[in-house]
Amino acid sequence: ASAERQAVFLWQVRWAEYSEETWLTEAETRYRMMLRLMGQNHARFIVPTYDIDLMWHTHMAFPEDYRKDSLRLAGRVVPHDD
């Protein structure tokens, strides 16, 4: 089931704008904002947009950086459910 969801996700983030520098910079900014929001709202379930989720998956590919940045921005290591 997870592989099927990831296939859909990867299809949705394959568009050309997903490799443009401006788009990526803005997506990273939105991702950082989401981590801060998650730090302020531990009990709430926050659903990321596709661009934010792409940044999130990419960030988690670097576990040490993810842990450090997550602690700094959210005050905790934020789990990802997928």
pLDDT in tens, 23-41: 889 999 999 999 999 999 9
**Residue 13 DSSP class:** T
What confidence score (pLDDT) does residue 21 get?
Answer: 85
pTM of the model: 0.77
| Residue type for position 80 | H
Rg (CA), the chain: 13
State phi, psi for 34 to the nearest 5 degrees: -65, -40
Render pLDDT for 49-69 as a digit per residue (tens, 0 to 9).
Answer: 888 988 998 899 999 999 999
